[in-house]
Amino acid sequence: MPDQIINITVANNDGAGVSSGKSLKEALGSLLSGVIGAESGGRLFGLEDPIRESGDFRLMTIDSPRAMELFWHSASHLLAQAVLRLYPDAKLGIGPAIKDGFYYDFDFGQPISSDDLSRIEQEMQKEVEADYPIVRAEVEPAEAKSFFGEKKQPLKLELIEGLNEQISTYTQGEFTDLCRGPHVPSTGLLKHFKLLSLTGAYWRGDERNPMLQRIYGTAYPTKEQLEARLTQLEEAKRRDHRVVGKAMGLFSFHTEAPGAPFWHDKGVILFDLVQNYVRSLLRVNGYTEAKTPLILAKELWEKSGHWDHYQRAMYFTSQEDRDYAVKPMNCPGHVLMYSERQYSYKELPVRIAEMGIVHRYEKSGTLHGLLRVRHITQDDAHVFCTQDQLVDEAIRMINLVFQIYGHFGMKDFVIELSTRPLDRIGSDQNWDLAEAALADALKIAGREFQISEGEGAFYGPKIDFHVTDSIGRTWQCSTVQVDFNFPDRFNLEYIGADNQAHRPVMLHRAILGSVERFLGVLIEHYAGDFPLWLAPEQAVVLPIAEAQLPYAEEVLKALKAAGLRGRIDSRSEKIGKKIRDAELDKVPYMIVIGGREAENHSVSLRRRGKGDLGVKPLDEALQELIAEAESSANLS
């Protein structure tokens, strides 16, 4: 049932409507039944929150899509209350809702261990049974400082120092926390929760600050929803690309190069298969391919705006009294290439693609396998076009995203149109044009999307594609961005039909995003059980005895001649162990050779997950593998 939308009018001087500052609960009156909050203009309100501006409010029940944000935020307070009951001297950090759950940061003084989480859960359950109302209050900064000073909470005092406006707190039972909210009405709604892990985290994400302990958790309105989430998390552990990648020998990491993967032979094969497939579509879609330098002079990054807006994420070097930056993006290099000559409107759009290596500084605490790295290979492209061509070019990019991800067996997306941030460059007029063009392109392409206010790049709005994997998780990979600002900053031109110089529009796009991140997602999507075309090793030849080695060599040669990837397991192990090891290595096909097979020029074929497929002539077996590889390569 869709959430109900009502209009709430804040009182004017004549007394009409709802008085300014009254809570949502007071404003709703008889409509309160089953409602836990509301949404208006992208902002969430709990029942305790004051309504200060008139507008339409979408009422939320516990089943509403965004209700979980209130739910998880409230669960973080449930956790903090339990911690203070068990560890009265603990210092509270922050406890936000995050995707699929929540966390809270603590300074315990003496660190706790994961074994203590069950004890904290038991205390949380007592708070649920008490069903404390969650009550909002507004206090002045001085009053807040006095309260949290008495409670000996220095981290809260530090947060208050940065606040000059009126401050809100939320109280449940004996526990009060500094918080903007919003929250669910009472702790009794939070029956089904689970604490998941305990990690370290720098206070406020700054490595110069003390290390705190972060407790992650999740909570859901029903037991069934919680169990489904926990099952998904267990499956995610099994699919963890770091574990699977290590077991399969795809890649490794070393402390000598934090955030930079070392690709092993099978990993290089996988990397090349993905990269080459994307490359195969470039010229078909009108792109030329470029390679631009890794290090470019400081003045280029000043001109592009990265020096002012992106400097903290960049690496630098100096030689011969000149400053340089290691590129975090490919776009300024492509702009220089476009500027080398004069283009006619008849030559536009100009589409420049690059599998470019870039480097971005990510804090060490945020690095996460292939999913968050400092050394990045981007399947990047920039399109220079006329304003009239803008929507059509964006549509082409949107369709290319769906084509490529469909090829890898991922077809479900959540699409966000991210609009202008506060920290931006360029005129409002250009931002209006750019945002409208991306919205029109999505509508014409027939793709549903949601608006993400203020999340655009500093130079232009963007479309972000969040792809859903095989166990229902979403990953942000692809992006399409419109940019009126780079062409202005670099004085780019083309000659129009009127024989006058005009400014082109620039689009940025990355389909895979980071190839490293995409491969991490892909490994977890398939749990390493790749379709045959994508498997780094497609078959392993397993001779039962040393006497069959000559024929095994012949079979391997035939495999390679057929364009298939394979090897021989020539170890002096029993055939059962060789088969088990091949299964663990996630090799799709096992070709078993005994004396009879060698004599008859045949093979005994096994398929991972299906078992024995019987004895077949070698040529017939090869044809079956070729047909499956070709079929699995055409998933879209």
What is the C-alpha end-to-end distance of the chain, expressed in Å? 34
Element (H, E) at 426: none
532: left (phi over 0), alpha (psi -120 to 50) or beta: alpha
Report the alpha-carbon distance of residue 229 to residue 100 in Å, rounded: 9
Q: Which of 336, 332, 331, 300 is nearest to 316 (CA)?
A: 300
Distances (CA, A) of 55 to 38, 40, 223, 284, 504: 12, 7, 36, 49, 40
Inter-axis angle of helices 223-239 and 241-248, nearest 10 = 30
Respond yes or no: is residue 360 known to be catalytic: yes
3-state secondary structure of 283: helix
Catalytic residue among 382, 473, 509, 517: 382
Catalytic residue among 194, 239, 306, 331: 331
Per the structure block, which two tokens stand in for 321?
């009294």
The amino acid at 47: L
Per the structure block, which two tokens stand in for 185?
């009405």
* Contact partners, residue 472, CB within 8 Å, separation at least 6: 232
Catalytic residue among 214, 241, 266, 508: 508
Angle at 131 between CA 125 and CA 137, to 5 degrees: 115
Report the alpha-carbon distance of residue 334 to residue 379 in Å, rounded: 13
Give the count of beta carbons closer than 10 Å to the beta carbon of residue 364. Answer: 11
Respond yes or no: is residue 462 known to be catalytic: yes
Strands (DSSP E) found in 420-529 = 450-452, 462-468, 474-483, 494-495, 501-502, 505-514
Q: Are strands 566-568 and 539-543 parallel, antiparallel or unpaired?
A: parallel
Respond yes or no: is residue 450 known to be catalytic: no
Catalytic residue among 334, 360, 396, 473: 360
* Contact partners, residue 227, CB within 8 Å, separation at least 6: none
Give the count of beta carbons closer than 10 Å to the beta carbon of residue 356. Answer: 23
Respond yes or no: is residue 311 known to be catalytic: no
The amino acid at 635: L
Could you tell me how many residues make up the chain? 636
Element (H, E) at 586: none
Token match 């709703």: residue?
28
Catalytic residue among 81, 153, 378, 538: 378
Element (H, E) at 302: helix 298-304
Give the count of beta carbons closer than 10 Å to the beta carbon of residue 438. Answer: 27
* Contact partners, residue 429, CB within 8 Å, separation at least 6: none
Respond yes or no: is residue 483 known to be catalytic: no
Per the structure block, which two tokens stand in for 178?
């500094």
Distances (CA, A) of 33 to 37, 60, 220, 563: 11, 11, 20, 66
Give the count of beta carbons closer than 10 Å to the beta carbon of residue 37. Answer: 29
CB 401 within 8 A of CB 478: yes
Angle at 277 between CA 279 and CA 480, to 5 degrees: 65
Catalytic residue among 177, 379, 380, 469: 380
Give the count of beta carbons closer than 10 Å to the beta carbon of residue 3. Answer: 17
Catalytic residue among 351, 462, 473, 509: 462
Burial 56-85 (b: 16+ CB within 10 A, else e): ebbbbebebeebbbbbbbbbbbbbbbbbbb
Report the alpha-carbon distance of residue 334 to residue 507 in Å, rounded: 11
CA atoms within 13 A on the CB side of 373: 26
Show which residues are catalytic: 331, 360, 378, 380, 382, 462, 508
